[in-house]
Amino acid sequence: MDISSVIIAILTLTAGIGVFLVACQTMSGNLEAAGSRGLRRLFAKTGDNKWLGVGIGLAGTAAIQSSGAVTVMVIGFVNVGIMSLTQAATIIYGSNIGTTVTAQLVALGMFGRNSISTTIIFAAFAGIGAFISLFAKSDKWKQTGGILTGFGMLFVGLGMMSSAMEEFAALPEVKTMLAAINNPILLVIIGTLLTAVIQSSSVMTSIAITMVVTGLVNLDQGIYLTMGSNIGSCVVAMIAGMTSGVNAKRTAFIHLIFNVMGVVMFLILALILRISTGGAWSFGTLFERWFPNAPQMQLAMFHTFFNVCTMFVALPLTDVLVRTVCRIVPEKEVVPSAAPRLKYLDPSMLSTPAVALRQLKTEIENMAEMAMTNFHRSIKTITTMDYDDIEAFRDTEDQLNFLNKELLRYSVLLSENNLNSYDQRYLNGTIRTVSDLERVGDYAENIVEYADSLKEQDAAFSPEAINEILQMEKLVSELYGEVRIAYHNKDLEALRRANAIEDRIDDLTEEMERNHIRRLNEGTCSPAVGAEYLSLAQNAERVADHLINVGNTVKDLVS
């Protein structure tokens, strides 16, 4: 055995795996950035239809070329309670099918090895994409260049792995050693462990394809290695699930059980096939007959066949699977806590920035509702001197302060990803929006403090003053309704209506000041009470200003 040849082959294989992994990340990131709006719409359609869930998982994974990212993102959705375990399970089924697209691409790139290899043709896209990215001005063309670069690099890495495998195949000792490993269960375990280390079933499947093509292993060995890669792909999801809530752990177990079930089912089928034919038939011989003279296609098609069949078996059993994982991971009895928390966001979602941005927007809209709820509570408190809602008010104020810090931190983490210009503009506006909403909560807190001052003085506003305050509350509420429409739908017409209402609020503030002076002169209002009244009017007017600021962020998003 030539030691130098072995070392060179090992280094080439390592380099090929590295290039392949970087290519997957490059292509995935640019695909996601380019299709972020479509991806957000896709995952917004999750419903109770199981086939819809499968389709969403398949399309989402095929679009961003990362089943791991989709699975981790689903765990995040389940963890914050906006997706059921049943919905998560069906998306995971589809995700497993979607990840086979990479294997099909790899198989396609390994044709024509005796003439102009498709590997070389596809690898050339790396250079084409790099030139496009280098000279492109628009985000769209830069992302297109990034996608082509990643796609081409896949085949650069594949070529390096194939070269290493050919070196190994030329060493009789290596072939003899690998030929001795023919126990299906052992091969599945090897595939599982290697995938767990690499953390990419796509890379493991691609390695198995190159090993089969170069004759380093036979097709049956490649099939069992690929089956093991499905189990190994659960490692990332298990890690994400174990660090999250109960339902996230359950989702991770669904992923694991689904893949283990498929492997066990196919191992049993392989045993039955071999026994019933006296050892003459196996999955390898079947796929060799169905796809003759194309070993790369044989293994790639088995990979797709395996995941599709497992999905068809698991889909009717989804409810049983969900009940099983609920028994494996029982609900812990916890004391309800009012501690501040994120309602729609989870750290796991950062693996899919396009979807995380959609959830960030939902979280901000929820923060706006909370801020306005506290505003209405403060008005009720000062006009009725009824403190029944004060505990809920304090809890909400704590939540607003928490959201202010956490959403800014989350936005910074999101900004570190490869985002398109639209998403980056939205993220830039988020910092101002969150701060404005937190200030709305602060002004509501000021109004409650004015109520406390009145209570200490055993004083109250006159009926006329209370009527003016309620008019102000009504206008601020109308303005918020228009701002909410403008922010959610990027509706400039709604923003125009909001600005018109804001002008009316300014006029009402001036009117309230004039009326206050008149009441002072008439002696129907004391100076101490009047000071609280003027401060309240000014605070309500500032609430309107901050809401307008939130609405104005959509101007940067409308092209």
Phi, psi of 154 (to 5 degrees): -55, -45
List, for residues 361-395, the tens digit of each pLDDT value. Answer: 999 999 999 999 999 999 999 999 999 999 999 99
Name the residue with tokens 């026994």: 275
* φ/ψ bin of 417: left (φ > 0), alpha (ψ from -120 to 50), beta (otherwise): beta
Q: Residues 184, 221: contact at Cβ < 8 Å?
A: no
Closest CA to 483 of 442, 416, 436: 436
Residue with tokens 């009117």: 511
Between CA 45 and CA 83 the distance in angstroms is 11
Distance spanning both ends of the chain, measured CA to CA: 65
**Which two three-digit tokens encode residue 367?**
């923060």
Rg (CA), the chain: 31
The per-type count for the chain, helices as H runs and strands as E runs, is 23, 0
Q: Give me the domains of the chain, ranges plus CATH numbers.
A: 3-328 (no CATH), 352-556 (1.20.58.220)
- Residue 362 DSSP SS3: helix
Residues, the chain: 559
Distance CA 253, CA 236 (A): 12
d(CA 27, CA 8): 28
The parts of the chain modelled with pLDDT lower than 70 are 1-2, 28-29, 31-48, 63-66, 69, 111-119, 240-241, 243-244, 332-338, 559
Supply the pLDDT for residue 368: 96
What percent of the chain is modeled with pLDDT above 70?
91
pLDDT value, residue 557: 82
**pTM score over 0.85:** no
The Cα 418–Cα 282 span in angstroms is 45
Q: Rounded to an integer, what distance in angstroms lies between the CA atom of residue 386 and that of residue 380?
A: 7
pLDDT, tens digit, 9 for 90 and up, residues 46-57: 666 888 889 888
Torsion over CA: 312, 316, 320, 323 (sign): positive
> Rounded CA gap, 214 and 199, in Å?
24
The neighbour count for residue 386, using CB atoms within 10 Å, is 11
d(CA 515, CA 520) in angstroms, rounded, equals 9
**pLDDT score for 115:** 45
Rounded to whole angstroms, the Cα distance separating 320 from 416 reads 40
Provide the residue type at 448 as one letter. Answer: V
User: What DSSP assignment string belongs to 134-182?
Assistant: HH--SHHHHHHHHHHHHHHHHHHHHHHHHHHHHHHHT-HHHHHHHHT--
